[in-house]
Structures are given as C-alpha cells and as structure tokens.
Structure 1
Amino acid sequence: MESDDLGLFGPGSVTWKLHEEPILIVAGLRSLYLQALHPRAMAGVAQNSNYRTDAWGRLVRTATYVGTTVYGTTAEAEAAGSRLRRLHARMTAVDPATGERFRVDEPDLLRWVHVTEVESFLDTARRAGLSLTDDEVDRYYGEQRRAAALVGLDPDSVPGTAAEVATYYGSVRPELRMTREAAETALFLTAPPLPWKLSLPARVGLNLGPPRWAYLGIAGTALALLPAWARRLYGGLGLPTTALSADLTVRTLRLALAAVPRRYREGPMQQAAKERAARLTGTVAG
C-alpha cells in the first residue's frame, strides 16, 4: 500500500536528516556554479534549457524533483525518474570545442551533475553546523546511489563514499575550465531577474532593494563555499580565509532559518512523508 511506503530512504536515513536543513537552498546554488565548469555539461544545459527566461520555474521544478526523490513514495520517486529519463533521452547538444553532437544523458555527464549536487548538499550542511559523523557522510553518499539510479546511472559507477568522491573530483578536474558559457551562466546565477512580486517598481531604476541584496549575499556565499580549485577557475583566490568567511556566513544563515516556524520550512511532500512515517512507527511527526 502506498500509505505504508516510506520511499527510497525513510526516517532512519542520513538523507532525511540532511534534507531537513533549509540551508540546502545555498547548496543547490553552489552545485550549479560547480556544474557550469564542465564545458560539455554546460553546453548541454545552455542548448536545451530555458533557464534564462524561466529561471524560477526551473528552480521550482528542480526542487520538486529532489523533494520527490527524498520524501515521495517509491512509486512517486520512480515516476519522477522515468519522466526525467524520457526528457533527457530526447536532448542532444554540440560540443563547443570539437563540434561533436552528443546526448545529454551520457553517463559521464549525468554522473557529474549527480556528484556535484550531493557533494554540495553534504558539504554545505556540514559547514553550516549540521553534525554528521564520517560514517554518516559515507552512508549519505551510499544512499544517494538510489537517486543516481533514477536518472539512469549504474549505481556501482557512482562514488559511494567521501574518499571516492574526492578521487572522482581529482579525475574530472583536468576537464574543467572557465568557458564563455560558464561565465555567462555564473553571472546569470549571481544576478537573475527576481520574481515580479519581489521586484521594485520600474521608476526606481536599478532593482537593488532588500530582496536583491539578500539574494546577492546568498549567491556570494554559494561561490565562496566552492572548493578552492573551483574558486580559482572562477578567477578567485582559493585562500583558507575565504572558506572560513563562508563557513561563518552559512552558519549564521542556518541559525536564522532555524528560527522560521517549521510549518513554513517544510513542503507538503515532506510533511506527508513524516505523517506516513509516524503512522508506521507510532512516533509523532515533527
């Protein structure tokens, strides 16, 4: 029965513990900055996505997909993965360096997107103050192989521990570079058009009101949270002081988000998952 299904992970998983954190909104942005440094992956996005004209719609759809895989039932997660695989199967792009046309669902590209996403979630949450043991870190990477399978990857081909992720990044780094598309995407991510309800009237001129400054602060923190080698590719300095400043900022932001009432921090899918878990385990959802 679907009402008895706790999905791919469940309340005892590290995945549920980690994805309780609202600070993961910063992690999602960090992963996009990181993904843009892969020229082939960036070409696939730039040539197939409408992110420039529907930035916030795409963000909502991505967040909904992640929420479904984490908190949905097994059937819901598998259906979401099936839809994504069908979408990717129809997409191709042209490598800007070689002129070669390629499929965007190539395993190497899917693996890059998966690893940068889950590593960003984990690294951001830990640096924001979430206490996780080394064993829990490895368990999270292992659990996320189930999510990798949904997009069409062989789980055994995906890094499943922190050491394997570090090795993977080392193997991919020679392929990464700052391309024109990466620079344009990074600029867009840093200063996207705000939803109309948050924008100031046109007569004000430049939209530099509180929402814009708040977003710029989040974007700057996401960039500063990148690994030192990634910050250097963006033209910044991979200094320990940059990382320390990012850690302090993201810890402060996590504390601020923790003060927001839970009913505003949790989406309907997360609440429904907790209610299912409470019925099955006899605990109180919360």
Structure 2
Amino acid sequence: MLPDVRAHLGALLLRRVAGPDARAVRARIHDTPGARWFGPDRAIRVVHGDASMFVGGVSALLLQSLHPLAMAAVAAHSGYRGDPWGRLQRTSTFLAVTTYGTAADAQAAVDRVRGMHEKVRGTTPDGEPYHAADPHLLGWVHAAETACFLGAHERYGAHPLDPAGYDGYVADTARVAEALGVTDPPRDRRALSERLAEYRPELRATPEARAATRFLLFEPPLPLPVRPLYGALAANAVTLLPSWARSLLRLPHVPLVENLTVRPAGHLLIGTIRWALAPPPRSD
C-alpha cells in the first residue's frame, strides 16, 4: 500500500514539475552519453537534485519580481498566469539539462533561451525600456535565483554543504550564467551577497510585482484540497526572503509563528516530497 502511495505521489509531482513525459525526459537527460558541464561531484548537482528546490523556486520568483524591468518583461511576455505549469516545466527542464545533461544539450538549451530573450523587448508602465537579453538584467535574475536556491538547500536540504561547498555552488551556477550572457557573475557566496546589495537601489514593489506575489501565494492554479500543502510551501518560501524584500512586498514577519509552525511544516513537507520522488529500491 505505502509503495503505491509513494509511486502515485511521485508521478503526480513529476508531471506537474516536468510535464507528462517527465520520466522519459529525465532518462534522456541523465542517460545520454557524453561530456557534461558538471561532474558528479559538483555542488550544483547536490543542490539542484534536492527537494528543497520546491521552496527555493517560489522564493526566487518572489525576489526576482522586485526588479521593475524584470517584472515588466515577465508580466508582458511569460504568460505565467495563463500557463503557469508550462512555464514551471520549461524552467525545471532547463535547470535539469544544464546541470545533468550533456555539454551539447546544455549549450543547445542555453542557445534556445538566449534566442527567446533576444525577442523580449518593451517598456514598463512608467516608460522605462527593457530587454530580456540585457546582461545587467540577466545578472539580477541569476543572483536572486542562486541566492534562493542556496538558502533553501542550506535550510531544508537533506545534506547541507559546508561553506566551501556553497561557494562551489555559486561558482557552478556562474558557468551557466555566463553562457546565458551574464557579465562577470559572482563566484562565491560573499560576492553573491555583494552583488545582491548592488541591485538594491533599483528594486521596488511595482503593481505588477504585487500582483505576481498575490498569484504565487494566494491564487495558485491548484485544486482546493491541495492548497493547504502549497500554502505551507509558499509560507516557507517567504521566510527565506531577506527582511528588506519582505518589507517591499508587504509580507509580514512573525518570528514566533514562523519558528514554531511554518519552518517545522516546511521540513515535513519537503521531507515528504523527497520521499515521494526518491527512486524505488532496486530488487536484485
């Protein structure tokens, strides 16, 4: 009975995150022979292969929304409201291919994304021009994503890394960022923190950012019975945000409640996701 529940839950999660052909895609990424950008001992494989990414991904979207130009591009071109699962699946597949796939497949995935970024241009409601291929804008998206994935793994990962390991993770992600067009991405945790601070004067919670926050936290396209579980995931994603980001997004900080209920619920939920997605034991 329990193995059946595990298999059903794992299949459901995979379909949501990676699409209807998730297992075939996973097999193709991992089993295709050839050189990789990252060897099996690299930190990026540890972080991106952990269930903590579910929390880190939501946190990254919230943090990224605070750059007006990035948020304007997402609001106008990503279709996150009309096809949120499709966007999630494309993002998760890109992360999987660049982390675990062959070097040729990783480069092809990067080339596709760069081609899409080149077409995304426009102006914000305030009249500021944006271009998704702008290295400075790409740098913000990369830094926010890396910080949130790292923070989620440090707090919820099955096997947290030591400081050198997390520096290695930042260095690994810089390899992908450079391929995408980021200029001089940070290569250790200290540089990542400094880079985020450099962007602070540019950040604000625009109406589009607040709309995205409402959508992510309170209007997820999920059946009602599943929403409490997603609510726990989203609440833990909020706790990962820097205090200044929470203030900009008007997300309250209640330390006692978060420490006694939100974080324990997050550990339980992430542990359940990890259990469901673990490969079944081999029968020899």
Query: The TM-score by the shorter chain falls in which range?
Result: 0.7 to 0.9
Deviation at 1:6, TM superposition (A): 4.2
Closer, same or farther in 2 for the Cα pair 1:74/1:187, shift >3 Å? same
Deviates more, 1:233-242 or 1:50-59: 233-242
User: Matches of residues 1-286 of structure 1 in structure 2 within 5 Å?
Assistant: 4-97=33-126, 99-129=127-157, 130-154=159-183, 157-194=184-221, 199=223, 209-238=224-253, 240-241=255-256, 244=259, 246-260=262-276, 262-263=278-279
The answer to whether the 8 A contact 1:22-1:257 is kept is yes
Q: How much does 1:242 deviate?
A: 6.5
**RMSD (CA atoms):** 2.2
Contact 1:55–1:192 (Cα < 8 Å) also in 2: no
Could you tell me whether the CA contact under 8 Å between 1:228 and 1:239 is conserved in 2? no
Which secondary structure state, in structure 1, belongs to the residue aligned with residue 276 of structure 2?
Answer: coil
After TM superposition, give the deviation of residue 92 of structure 1 in Å.
Answer: 0.2
Shift of 1:3: 5.2
The one-letter code matched in structure 1 to 2:193 is A
- Alignment partner of 1:93: what SS? strand
Tell me if structure 2 keeps the 8 A contact 1:127–1:250: no
Q: How far apart, in 1, do the equivalents of 2:196 and 2:257 lie?
A: 21
Cα deviation, 1:218-276, whole Å, max 9, x if unaligned, reads 11221122111111112134565466455433322232233325237xxxxxxxxxxxx
Distance, in Å, in 1 between the alignment partners of 2:256 and 2:134 is 37
Shift of the 244–171 alpha-carbon distance from structure 1 to 2, 3 Å rule, reads farther
Q: CA deviation at 1:131?
A: 2.0
TM-score, length basis structure 2: 0.81
> Quick one: distance in 1 between partners of 2:93 and 2:219?
20
Question: Which deviates more, 246-255 or 137-146?
Answer: 246-255
Residue 9 of structure 1 aligns to a residue whose secondary structure is coil
Say whether the 8 Å CA contact 1:118–1:144 is kept in structure 2. yes
Q: Distance in 2 between matches of 1:15 and 1:118?
A: 10
Alpha-carbon spacing, 1:165–1:238, altered in 2? closer, same or farther (3 Å): farther
Distance 2:147 2:190 in 1: 12
* Stretches of structure 1 lacking an aligned partner (at least 5 in a row): 200-208, 265-283
How far off its partner does 1:191 sit? 3.4
Equivalents in 2 of 1:236, 1:3: separation in Å?
44
Q: Which runs of 4+ in 1 moved over 2 A?
A: 2-6, 191-195, 236-261
Gap change, CA 1:193 and 1:164, over 3 Å in 2: closer
Measure, in 2, the Cα distance between the counterparts of 1:139 and 1:47. 35
Question: Is the alpha carbon distance of 1:214 and 1:261 closer, same or farther for their aligned partners in structure 2, counting shifts above 3 Å?
Answer: closer
For 1:218, the aligned partner's letter is L
Whether contact under 8 Å (2:229, 2:269) holds in the other structure is no
Unpaired runs of at least 5, structure 2: 1-30
Does the 8 Å contact 1:29/1:219 carry over to 2?
yes
Percent of residue pairs bearing the same amino acid type:
34
TM-score of the superposition, structure 1-length normalised?
A: 0.80
Seen in structure 2, the aligned counterparts of structure 1 residues 190 and 53 have a Cα distance that, compared at 3 Å, is same
Q: How far apart are the structure 1 equivalents of 2:256 and 2:140? A: 28
Contact persistence 2:174–2:187 (CA under 8 A): yes
